[in-house]
Amino acid sequence: MIKNIDFSKYLSLKIGTILPVEIIDGFEYNKDLRILGFGYNLLVSPKAEKLAILDDCFDYIRDIGEFIEVGASTRSSKLFRFFFENDLRGLEFLRSLPGSIGGLVKMNAGMKAYEMKDTLESVCIDGEWVNIKELNFSYRSTDIKGIIFAARFKKNSGFNHNLLEQFQILRKSHPSVPSCGSCFKNPKGDYAGRLIEAVGMKGYYINGVGFSDKHANFLVNIDKQRADFDSALEVIALAQKKVFDAFGIKLEKEVIIVE
């Protein structure tokens, strides 16, 4: 099934146009398709093709005994509530981290020292279950190829309520305007936000899209009428150039760009 999606509303950054997207409702699909999550930390070109999202049949949470199995189209807030209500630990940070479980697993998302891989046991990729030891999970990245349909998490009891305040404090530093979250990964031993601010890019915008004056590493949209895909690419490239020229550090993008 094909559905037209307005990405200026679908993406968290609120930049985009109307594009056809295929809805995947089973393990059989066109391998050329590019799967999208819920549009967090994502930029989609107005010329992008062969886009797809998962059907709602992949929105579920099941207790299967030793593990909790979760469909890739399940929202992070839904899984957070499940772990909270069932006194399970390991995913407390999901309270402050929006997105689909598939997307968060794909990028090994997390906050500070806490990551998806710490609680994950295996991932269903193209219909086959693969243990995470075979997928090379590392800081904000994995070796996952193909489409994630589900994930299984360890059932460790003892929800850590003390972490909620810590994550809530971090969340308060995030801008309230449309944003795709962290634009760059933190380089080893440093912070992307510090580097962006040091080169004068904090609060810098091109046609309304740029780096927040509240959190320098957050790519935000403060002018929905003017902000566009090309302007976003331009401001990202400019920040990379300025940081490299000043510090010799090549910032690696955390935002996913679909062209």
Q: Measured between alpha carbons, how far apart are the two ends of the chain, in Å? A: 22
- Of the residues 140, 141, 234, 252, only one is catalytic, namely 140
165 is catalytic: no
Alpha carbon separation from 174 to 78, 179, 213, 220, 225 (Å, rounded): 21, 9, 10, 10, 22
Alpha carbon separation from 244 to 100, 185, 196, 211 (Å, rounded): 33, 14, 10, 17
75 is catalytic: no
Q: Could you tell me whether strands 67-71 and 179-182 are parallel, antiparallel, or unpaired per DSSP bridges?
A: unpaired
254 is catalytic: yes
Residue 165 CB-half CA count within 13 A: 2
| Catalytic residue ranges | 140, 182, 254
